[in-house]
């Protein structure tokens, strides 16, 4: 696909010089650079919090001063594992 981009004269001169040094076309050099940027940039997915509702009055008394590990173990108690 053909497209037009505007870049500074000095950057274009440097890019052409590097392309000649490496024996590649300017197109190949630009494509290589774009591929590198795309693969190095982490993909950001929009965070979406799922709908969840809970009934009750908070933690049971036995968990009020418990560690996270104790709360977690209590949540999975009797569920295998």
Residues 12-30: pLDDT tens digits? Answer: 999 999 999 999 999 999 9
Tokens of 62: 């036995």
CA distances from 59 to 56, 66, 76 (A): 8, 10, 15
CA atoms within 13 A on the CB side of 66: 14
Confidence of residue 79 (pLDDT cuts 50, 70, 90): confident
The residue extents of the domains of the chain are 9-40
Predicted TM-score (pTM) of this structure: 0.51
- Long-range Cβ pairs for the range 24-27 (8 Å, 24+): none
- Torsional sign, CA 69, 72, 77, 81: negative
């Amino acid at each position: 696909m053909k497209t037009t981009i505007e870049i500074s004269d000095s950057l274009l001169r440097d890019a052409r010089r590097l392309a000649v040094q490496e024996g590649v076309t300017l197109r190949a050099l630009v494509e290589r650079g774009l591929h590198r940027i795309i693969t190095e940039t982490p993909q950001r997915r929009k965070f979406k919090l799922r709908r969840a509702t809970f009934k009750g009055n908070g933690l049971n008394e036995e968990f009020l001063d418990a560690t996270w590990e104790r709360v977690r173990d209590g949540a999975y108690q009797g569920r295998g594992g």
